[in-house]
Every structure is written in structure tokens, then in C-alpha cells.
Structure 1
Amino acid sequence: MINEVKKSAEQKMTKSLEAFKTDLTKVRTGRAHTGILDHVMVDYYGSDVPVNQVANVSLIDARTIGVQAWEKNMVAKIEKAIRDSDLGLNPASMGDIIRVPMPMLTEERRRDLIKVVRSEAEGARVAVRNIRRDANNEFKNLLKDKSITEDDERRGQDDIQKMTDKFIAEIDKALAAKEADLMAV
């Protein structure tokens, strides 16, 4: 019973951490990163598909992403999809290769992005703490039903607290790395 509660809590905390890390990749830094275009959808014969399913996405240099369409007639559609996305990018096609330069970030914009990243981190921490609360409530219910002893409940709560501390430290580490990345010029 106790191990099931711990295992369930750990799985949920892992999912919260992964969701936070995924959200961090969506926050744009000044450097080029192919993952930025993962959520850009292109009209491909009537259905919307991600850019990386109709083209090769690669880095040309530190500030430029290269997109090479697999079909010549898709170049204009891919360029339009990137321009229309909310990423603020301005692609330019050169033959069958689309160059997507990453604009420089101003100091003010960097500070705004750091605020966004910090609020995302706080949301992830709250999610982890909510999972801890739910697990502790399950332990209390098991104790009330006399399925476990008070010692088992205490040990279970201690283990959940250690797990919570570990995941919050991971969130803080990812936040610090992203902040450093954002402030790097």
C-alpha cells in the first residue's frame, strides 16, 4: 500500500518536472534552437503537421536555423507558417532552404522572459507540493482505515517529503540554467 502511494507520487512528480522542462524549451533565448519550431504547424495537403515532418530543421550557425523542405512546393507554405507563428521570427527563403535568423533580445525583453520562467517554475513547484499533499492524505486515510500503522504513516510522509525536496531542487536547477541561458549575450 505505502509503496504504491510513493510510486504514484513519484510518477506524477516526474511528469510535472518534464512538463516544466518542456515549457522552458518554448521560451526563446537569443540563440538558435531547432526545438523552437516544433510547435509550428504547416498546411500539408489539407492537414496541419509540424514543420519537422515536412522538412529538415537544422542549425546553420549560433543565431540561424535552416529549414530545408522535402518538397519544392512546400517552401512558401513553411515560410508563411513560421512567419504567422507567435514566435516573432522572420524567415527568408534562398532557393529551397529557408533561413530563420534569431533576432537579438533586448535587456528589457530578457528580464520579462525571466519573470515568465520564474512563474512557470513556481507553478511546477506548486504542482509538486499538491502531489505531496495528496500522497499524505492517502497515508492518513490508510491509517484511519487501520491498513497501516502510525510508524508506517510517518515513514511514508518522510519519504514523500524527501522526494518533494528532490524534485523541487531539480526544478530550481532547471530554472537557474534557463535564467543563465537567457542572460547570456
Structure 2
Amino acid sequence: MTTQEILKDAETRMEKALEVFRNDLKGLRTGRASPHLLDPLRVDYYGSPTPIKNIASITCPDAATIVIKPYQAEMLKDIEKAIRASDLGLAPNNDGKVIRLSLPPMSGEQRKKLVQQIKKQAEAAKVACRNIRRDSNKHFDDAEKNKLMTEDERDRGKAKIQDLLKSYEAKIDELAAKKEKEVMEQ
């Protein structure tokens, strides 16, 4: 592999790791209602687990309420069952047409636990990026050993990979800090 190919591969993989972290953050409860809270939930829809957003419209009329209106009325019971079985800790209110979820305000202790979870997820994303750096450095070492590049090219490539890692770690820290601030707001 050439230096450019190794760098491109590393950047693509680090971008994917960042995207996974971004999606994990979307699903966290911050005290505000968000349709993304329901993203991890699956409903049995004709024998296959299907995301709620694919079988119902999800809206947030205010900061503490989520309204789920299924496209097919018979799906109400299945959606309600999936919410009750989940670890969201929310009690669905089914009026026969829509399901309403009221989000109670989070306690200070819950907020602190959530911040710890965000830090854990951020560290996992950084570890994924570091593993990508390790793989890329191995590609550089192999290329140099196989006489496809010089030692200087290998060292410059490793330095570029390190710079790339630093930029992605900074992006992860920025996203985590933003989400922590959002969680800690009353």
C-alpha cells in the first residue's frame, strides 16, 4: 500500500468510529424529549424486528413529551410492549390512537451517571481510533520491510497518522463535552 492509500483507509475508518460515537450520543436521554431516544428499540413487525421510526411517526410537541402515532393502528400494542420491555424506564400512555411518553426530569445523580457513560463511550471511540492508528503503522512497517517505501517515508507516514489520530480524538472530546454540558443543564 502507498502512503496515500494507508492514510485514506485510516481516515475512512476513523470517520466511521466517530459516526458510531455520534449515533450513540443521539440515543442518550438528556432530560429533553427526542425521537432519537427510541432509535435502539425494535418492534416485532410481521416477524422481523423493525425500528419504531419505520412503522410510526414520532414527534416531540414539547420538551418533556414524545408522541408516537403508528401508521397502522394495530401496531399500538406491539410498540407499547417494546417500550415497556426496554430499559428506557418510561411508562407509555396509550389512548387508542397514539402513545404518549412523558419524560420525568432527571435527578442530579442520574445526570452524573449519564456523564460517566458519555465518558466511557468517548474513551471507547478513542480506543477504536488508536487501534486504527496501530493497524496503519503496521502497514507502514510492512511496506518499508518489503522495500515499497523508504524509512523516511515510513516515518513521515506514521507522523501523519498520529496527526490524524489527534484530530479525531479532539472531535470526539468536543462531541462528548457538548453532550455532557447538555446533560448537566437543568
- So what's the TM-score if we normalise by structure 2? 0.94
Q: By how many angstroms is 1:112 displaced?
A: 0.8
Q: Are 1:163 and 2:164 an aligned pair?
A: yes
Q: Are 1:180 and 2:181 an aligned pair?
A: yes
Count of residues in Structure 1 that have an aligned counterpart in Structure 2 = 185
Aligned 8 A contact 2:17 2:125 in 1: yes
Per-residue deviation, residues 121-180 of structure 1 (Å, max 9, x unmatched): 111111111111211121112111111012211211111111111100000001001101
Amino acid at match of 1:156: G
Q: Are 1:33 and 2:34 an aligned pair?
A: yes
In structure 1, the gaps of 5 or more residues are none
Distance 1:130 1:75 in 2: 44
Per-residue deviation, residues 75-126 of structure 1 (Å, max 9, x unmatched): 2221222122111111112341211111211101110111111011111111
Matches within 5 A, 1:54-69: 54-69=55-70
**Cα RMSD (Å) of the superposition?**
1.3
Q: By how many angstroms is 1:27 displaced?
A: 1.9
The runs of at least 4 consecutive aligned structure 1 residues that moved more than 6 Å come to: none
Q: By how many angstroms is 1:44 displaced?
A: 2.5
Amino acid at match of 2:37: I
Amino acid at match of 1:114: V
Classify the secondary structure of the residue corresponding to 1:39: coil
Distance 1:40 1:170 in 2: 28
- Residues 90 and 153 of structure 1: is their aligned pair in 2 closer, same or farther, counting only changes over 3 Å? same
Q: 1:91 corresponds to which residue?
A: 92
Per-residue deviation, residues 59-84 of structure 1 (Å, max 9, x unmatched): 11111111011222222221222122
Q: 2:115 corresponds to which residue?
A: 114
Matches within 5 A, 1:14-53: 14-53=15-54
Distance 1:38 1:20 in 2: 14
Q: By how many angstroms is 1:37 displaced?
A: 0.9
Per-residue deviation, residues 25-55 of structure 1 (Å, max 9, x unmatched): 2221110010111222222233332211221
Aligned 8 A contact 2:59 2:66 in 1: yes
Overall identity of the aligned pairs, in %: 43
Classify the secondary structure of the residue corresponding to 1:18: helix
Distance 2:21 2:53 in 1: 22
Q: 1:75 corresponds to which residue?
A: 76
Amino acid at match of 2:30: T
Matches within 5 A, 1:103-142: 103-142=104-143
Per-residue deviation, residues 9-36 of structure 1 (Å, max 9, x unmatched): 1111111111111111222111001011
Distance 1:83 1:119 in 2: 26
Q: Are 1:147 and 2:155 an aligned pair?
A: no
Bigger Cα displacement from structure 2, 3-12 vs 19-28: 19-28
